[in-house]
Structure 1
Amino acid sequence: MQKVEYITKEKVTEIMKRLDFFKDFNTSEITKLSEFHTNFFVYEKDERIIEEGHHSNAFYIILSGGVIVIKENSKIPLARLEPGDFFGEIAFITGNPRTSNIVSDETTIAIRINRSMLDKLTSEIREKIKDQILNKLIQRIGRMNDVIVSLTE
């Protein structure tokens, strides 16, 4: 179960300005995002944020803390995600069930972006979010290619 604590707009704005994910956002756009205070969540250590197999209409951007990506019945995490990283975007886009669990491995603040929130944002902000997701996905594919190449050498 997720624990929700109130986070001030000022605190959220301060955090977002430090993250690479929001580097192309101007102050006005960051302020607009921070107004969606009901979409900001604080997760305690070991709190499950996403459950494998479940459907959801949201993805998350980590503002502080960190999470692990882990398959059900596995003890070995697939990845650790840190501030500026995001998760849940593929299931959000495709509507498919979640393919893994996301568990906070320390106190974590994240913004939960759903379709309702996206509909209320300007097209400029939506484009910048999309661009950041595409850039990060391209980086992930590059890292996976490097791993595959290193395994075949």
Structure 2
Amino acid sequence: MRLLEHIPLIKQLEIVNRLEFFKEFTVAERQVLLESFGCLYLINAHRHAFKRFERDDKLYIVLSGELSIYSKSEHDELGRIKPGEFVGEGAFISHRERSTNAIALVDTIVLAITAEALTRLPNVVREKIKDQLIIGMSLRIAKLNAHIEQEDKSH
């Protein structure tokens, strides 16, 4: 994973403006978020964003590309994270080690957010990030419930 330091703010805004995650943010709030974090990373195809059991409590929002999430083997994919979606919320929220692996399927750009950086953001921006995490996590729970129900019906 390589820190991207020379992407103009206007280009960063252009990217986040297209993503569902940021739809409730004003342009000014998006700008504050990007200027405050400034942590865009490039994960080259077939490279890990993070590995299971690592101590890394960053939340990653995918801006472009796609990540595959798996537990033990890349052949046992748990899901894919696409632009506008996030990964790493468990370690981010509870400050525990990673429970899964994340590998880039193609060159992928992510915005990395640390808990410490989150506390320095204006309340309105922080609350909007939290709202998006809650929405995203509830969608994952609904998807998981549907998967479990499907499994039950097939047995």
TM over 0.5, yes or no? Answer: yes
Count the aligned residue pairs. 152
Partner of 2:85: 85
| Partner SS for 1:4 | strand
Partner of 1:3: 2
* Contact in 1 for aligned 2:58/2:112 (Cα 8 Å): yes
Among the aligned pairs, what percent are the same residue? Answer: 30
* Contact in 2 for aligned 1:71/1:77 (Cα 8 Å): yes
Paired amino acid for 2:30: I
Paired amino acid for 2:97: P
What displacement does 1:106 show?
0.6
Partner of 1:105: 105
Partner of 1:34: 34
* Contact in 1 for aligned 2:64/2:83 (Cα 8 Å): yes
Unpaired segments of 5 or more residues in structure 2?
Answer: none
What displacement does 1:91 show?
1.2
* Contact in 2 for aligned 1:7/1:37 (Cα 8 Å): no
- For residues 46 and 139 of structure 2, the distance between their equivalents in structure 1, rounded to whole angstroms, comes to 27
* Contact in 2 for aligned 1:69/1:80 (Cα 8 Å): yes
Paired amino acid for 2:141: I
Partner of 2:124: 124
What displacement does 1:7 show?
2.0
- For residues 13 and 74 of structure 1, the distance between their equivalents in structure 2, rounded to whole angstroms, comes to 33
Q: Provide the TM-score with structure 1 as the length reference.
A: 0.93
- For residues 63 and 92 of structure 2, the distance between their equivalents in structure 1, rounded to whole angstroms, comes to 19
Give structure 1 regions of 4+ aligned residues with deviation exceeding 6 angstroms: none
Unpaired segments of 5 or more residues in structure 1?
Answer: none
What displacement does 1:57 show?
2.4
1:134-153 CA distances to partner (integer Å, 9 max, x unpaired)? 00111111111111111212
User: Is 125-134 or 54-63 further displaced after alignment?
Assistant: 54-63
User: Is 125-134 or 143-152 further displaced after alignment?
Assistant: 143-152
Please tell me the root mean square deviation across aligned C-alpha atoms, in Å.
1.3
Q: Provide the TM-score with structure 2 as the length reference.
A: 0.92
User: Is 31-40 or 87-96 further displaced after alignment?
Assistant: 31-40
* Contact in 1 for aligned 2:66/2:105 (Cα 8 Å): yes
What displacement does 1:74 show?
4.5
Structure 1 residues 100 and 27: alpha-carbon distance in aligned structure 2, compared to 1, 3 A threshold = same
In the TM superposition, what are the counterparts of 1:129-148 in structure 2 within 5 Å? Answer: 129-148=129-148
- For residues 101 and 125 of structure 1, the distance between their equivalents in structure 2, rounded to whole angstroms, comes to 28
